[in-house]
Structures are given as structure tokens and as C-alpha cells.
Amino acid sequence: MELSAIALHLDLHLAVRAFELLLGFSLALQCLEYLRIPALDRVNDWAILRLEIPARPAVVRALLDVLLTPRNHRVLIVLRLVLAIGLMSGGLGLAGAVLLFLIALVLLLRWRGAFNGGSDFMTLVGLTGLLIAHLVGAFAGMETGWRAGLWYIALQSLTSYFMSGWVKLLHPSWRSGRALPQFLDTGIYGPLAPCSVYRKPWLARAISWSFTVWEGLFPLALLDVRLAALFCAVASAFHFLVFRFFGLNRFFWAWMTTYPAILWCAGQSLT
């Protein structure tokens, strides 16, 4: 094994700690935002949202009515924040993982399946990985549990890049580069300036091909830990740019959470 590869090779303990820190941090940021939202939002009224909850089993809607009163919702978010801090400190066990998962389910029901789309999906991947680790760990030992959890998270994350990249490449508007300035114009921090370099057709085409092919090839990261480190470094910059144009800060942190799992799984081919 070359020296540079050894330096990048994450041992299981380190990968788990990095994952717990990043997931805990991401959850904490979300909680602080959730605590601000009720004072800002006069649209998402639970009295309307609750009508969409299926009538049967009746206990679900009744339970949600109790859990999602303004006061109880706040308590739930504060509890999630405390659990997130516990996760960052490394002291969260099976009960904590189960609670975090259950709170995530309540939030999915509160926000019609997602408050913020993909970031909620990837956060759920992280929480499911955490739950798998602790559930499997309770029966087969924590090392086996974390191996299962990290593989689950890595495969989901790699799938997200793979799908996102190849789906775009199937569209002529992405292949020609036309889609890039159109979407950037719709960004919440947009529109692009009239003289923006992203409006140059040759540059838009080059950028579109670069990042869609890069996304589509992301599963190759598993072949070598150095390749994985490179893919993850580029991905961090990519997600920051997505935040820069579209305001999707939660995406940035939700995907960062998965990189320790990708690096660790890539490192397994070295052993």
C-alpha cells in the first residue's frame, strides 16, 4: 500500500466519529432553523396539513395533533437538538438513534413528506444508517453494525450522484449546456447578471458536461481511497456552489455527512 493511500485510509472508529460529528452538526443546524420557522411562516397551517393524513389508522392523526401543537412541536425540535448534540459527543446509543429516526418520521408527516426536498431525503439516509448500525450492533456487535450502516450510507450517496448525473446527460438541454444558465437564473440568489460568464454557450456546455460526467462516475470512488478523496473534495465544492446559487445550505451539510462512509468503504478495497 502506498504511503498516500495509507494516510487517507480511514479506520472504522475514525469514520464513525466523523460521521457522527457531521450528522449531529447537520441535524443541529436544521433544528435551529426549524425553531425559527413558525415565527416566519403564515402559510403551512397544521389545521390544513392534517387533512391529508390518512384517516386510518385514526391513532396516527390523533397522535400528530398532540405532537404538533406549537408548544409540543417546539419541544420535539429541542429534543432533536439535544440528541444531535449527544450524537456529536459520541454518547448516543440505540435509544437515541431510534428517537432521532422517529422524530424524522414525524417531521416528514408535518411537512408533506419533505420540508426541503433532497436534503431531507439524505438526512433520512444518515439517520437510517445510524439506526442500522445500532440495531445490527445490538445483535452482532457494534463493529459489524457500523460496517452495515456505513455501507448503506455510502451506497445511497453514490446512487444519488450517479442518478443525478446520468439523468441530466439524457436530456438534450443539459448536453447542449442550455439548461445551466436557465436553472441558475431561477436560483433564489439569482438571476444571473446579463454579462455572467455562465451565459457563454461554450462555457455552459463545458461545465454541464464536466459535472454531469463527474456525478455519473462517482461510484468509481469505491475503487480507490485516493479517488474517493478527490471525488468528495470536488463534491464539497460542488455543493457549496449549489448553495451559492440556490440557497440550499441543508444539501451541503446533508451530503457532507456521507463522505466519511464513502471514504471508509473505498478504503476497504485496500485491506
Partner 1 sequence: MNRFTLITLALIGVYFVWLALFGLRKHRHLVQGPWLFFFRAFFPNWKFYHAAGKAPRLYARAQATDGVWGAWQRVYARMPYRTHHVLHNPVVNLALNHQNLVDHLWSDVQDLPEGADIRERATYQLVTRLAHEAVRGGRWGQVPMLPAALPDARHFQFELRMDALLETEGLPASSELVLQSPVLPSWN
Residue from 220, 71, 222, 67 nearest 150 by CA: 222
Q: How far is the CB of 102 from partner 1 (least distance, A)?
A: 13
Please state, in angstroms and rounded to a whole number, the distance separating the CA atoms of residues 148 and 53.
33
Please state, in angstroms and rounded to a whole number, the distance separating the CA atoms of residues 94 and 139.
12
Q: Based on the shown chain and the rule CB under 8 A, indicate whether residue 73 belongs to the binding site for partner 1.
A: no
Q: Based on the shown chain and the rule CB under 8 A, indicate whether residue 168 belongs to the binding site for partner 1.
A: yes
**Is the distance from CB of 232 to CB of 260 less than 8 angstroms?**
no
Among 4, 159, 210, 213, binds partner 1 (CB under 8 A): 159
Q: How far is the CB of 157 from partner 1 (least distance, A)?
A: 10
- Residue closer to partner 1 by CB (options 91, 210) is 210
Among 11, 72, 189, 197, binds partner 1 (CB under 8 A): 189
Altogether, the residues listed in the chain come to a count of: 271
**Is the distance from CB of 127 to CB of 100 less than 8 angstroms?**
yes
Q: Based on the shown chain and the rule CB under 8 A, indicate whether residue 58 belongs to the binding site for partner 1.
A: no
Residue from 206, 219, 224, 221 nearest 269 by CA: 224
Q: How far is the CB of 154 from partner 1 (least distance, A)?
A: 9
SS3 state of residue 176: coil
**Is the distance from CB of 109 to CB of 98 less than 8 angstroms?**
no
Region of 14-22, 80-88, 196-204, 218-226 interacting with partner 1 (CB under 8 A): 218-226
Site for partner 1 in 113-152 (CB under 8 A): 113-118, 120-122, 124, 128
Region of 129-137, 139-147, 195-203, 247-255 interacting with partner 1 (CB under 8 A): 247-255
Q: How far is the CB of 31 from partner 1 (least distance, A)?
A: 11
Site for partner 1 in 76-95 (CB under 8 A): none
Q: Based on the shown chain and the rule CB under 8 A, indicate whether residue 21 belongs to the binding site for partner 1.
A: no
Among 1, 2, 3, 45, binds partner 1 (CB under 8 A): 45
Residue from 126, 245, 234, 244 nearest 185 by CA: 245
Q: How far is the CB of 79 from partner 1 (least distance, A)?
A: 19
**Is the distance from CB of 242 to CB of 248 less than 8 angstroms?**
yes
Q: Based on the shown chain and the rule CB under 8 A, indicate whether residue 237 belongs to the binding site for partner 1.
A: no
Q: One-letter amino acid identity for 264?
A: W
Q: How far is the CB of 195 from partner 1 (least distance, A)?
A: 14
Please state, in angstroms and rounded to a whole number, the distance separating the CA atoms of residues 38 and 53.
20
Cell readout for 150 is 456505513
Number of residues that bind partner 1 (CB under 8 A): 74
Please state, in angstroms and rounded to a whole number, the distance separating the CA atoms of residues 248 and 104.
19
Q: Based on the shown chain and the rule CB under 8 A, indicate whether residue 67 belongs to the binding site for partner 1.
A: no
Among 1, 51, 193, 195, binds partner 1 (CB under 8 A): 51
Q: Based on the shown chain and the rule CB under 8 A, indicate whether residue 59 belongs to the binding site for partner 1.
A: no
Among 143, 219, 230, 241, binds partner 1 (CB under 8 A): 219
Distance in angstroms between the alpha carbons of the first and the last residue of the chain:
9
**Is the distance from CB of 192 to CB of 184 less than 8 angstroms?**
yes
